[in-house]
Amino acid sequence: MNMQEGLTKIGLATFTMIMVIGNGLFIPIMPAIQEELALTSNQTSLLLSVFSYAGALMILVSGWLSEKCGRKFILIASLSGLVLGCVLASLAGFTTDSTKAYDMILGGRILQGIGAGATAPMGMILASERYPKEQQAKVFSFLEIVNGLSKTAGPILGGLIVAYHWQAGFIWYLAIALVALAATFSLLGRQREEGQNSPTEKKLLPYFREFLPVLSIGFYVMFFLYGLLFVISSIVEDSFIRSLFISLPLAILVLMSYLYGRSSLQTFSQIQLLLKVGVLVLLIVTVFVSFFYIHTSLLIVSACVVGAVSGVMLPTSTSALVFLIPEALREKAISWLSMIRFIGVASGPILFSAWMANWTTYRFVFICGTAIIGFLVFILWKEKGVKKIEMS
């Protein structure tokens, strides 16, 4: 690998990690904020979720804004908002008014989500544009490894930071945002500012039947994983042990993404088989968690299994998108996929927090939701339809 390719991968990795680290870093920090500001569980989970919801909304509109104003301009403006959000949230630690401090952190998290949302899909988008199709699976796997490493390092770093003070978490995130700004100038320095490569007149709707399973998998994997991590974070009291338990499933995710990237399972039929097996495993784990959720050790084991499955399903679902969606629509499709994944990240802590109080009432809804995902993957992906798209 030459220096230019290495710098390109560093830039792609920075774009990929910025939204992931924005959640993982703060999961172990939230109990400290909750205790200092006397927050409820729902208020605390909202500080995590509002970041992802704001990011998901920005992912959805960033493509349209990029076509109107230029990709580089939107990234710089959004990352500047992220920097401002970090400053605002860190200043909340200096006020003695708990309500005002909470509002400042909440507003800061919204700004951070907007900035991270515009940046999040850029790694995959630029990878699909800069690398030939035969290399894209390995590059996507590399980005998922970076994604997973960020998920793993975030909670560990957060556990170390919380021993000092929760404000330091926002200062660390500020530093990462500045690196992303530098990567924007480096990778998009000569990017054309008008008329990006995705024509607005082309629509994803004709490909919705094939695209829906990819979106469903992206949502459910992140929803399930981050919901379990939130429950573990809530029931484990020691901050360092909590960070380790949160990081373990994410470390397994990284390992599985690495192994998939090294494998030769790159054809669509192989990708399809891996995703179907993954859905079946998730259904089994869902049933298991639904009836044995009260045991901490079983929750951790279940989260590790979900992490392993996610490590394969995330890069394979991105690779499937390359097969299913024409190149002219790929940026738009990747933006949708990123948005749906982060909605899953945002929804997991909120719904699992609500379900913890009355799990037996909701567990069958949970099982049925998983079964619906399986139905979409097994029924909507018929080989005949896929071949037709691959040839187009």
- What DSSP assignment string belongs to 318-335? HHHHHHHS-GGGHHHHHH
Q: Is the pLDDT of residue 269 over 70?
A: yes
Q: Is the pLDDT of residue 103 over 90?
A: yes
pLDDT digits (tens, 9 = 90+) for 154-182: 877 887 887 778 888 898 899 888 888 88
| Predicted structure pTM score | 0.70
Whole-number Cα distances in Å, 309 to 17, 38, 65, 247: 20, 37, 35, 15
pLDDT at residue 385, rounded to an integer? 43
CB neighbours of 103 closer than 8 A, spacing ≥ 6? none
pLDDT digits (tens, 9 = 90+) for 340-387: 887 887 788 778 877 776 766 666 776 777 777 777 777 766 544 444
Is residue 117 a contact partner of residue 19, using CB atoms and an 8 Å limit? yes
Phi/psi-derived region of residue 38, left when phi > 0, alpha when psi is between -120 and 50, beta in every other case: left
Other C-beta atoms lying within 10 Å of the C-beta of residue 94: 9
Mean pLDDT (whole number) for 75-88: 91
pLDDT at residue 107, rounded to an integer? 95
pLDDT digits (tens, 9 = 90+) for 305-330: 999 998 888 888 888 887 888 877 87
Q: Spell out the domains of the chain, with CATH numbers in brackets.
A: 7-187+204-391 (1.20.1250.20)
Write out the two tokens for 132.
């030939």
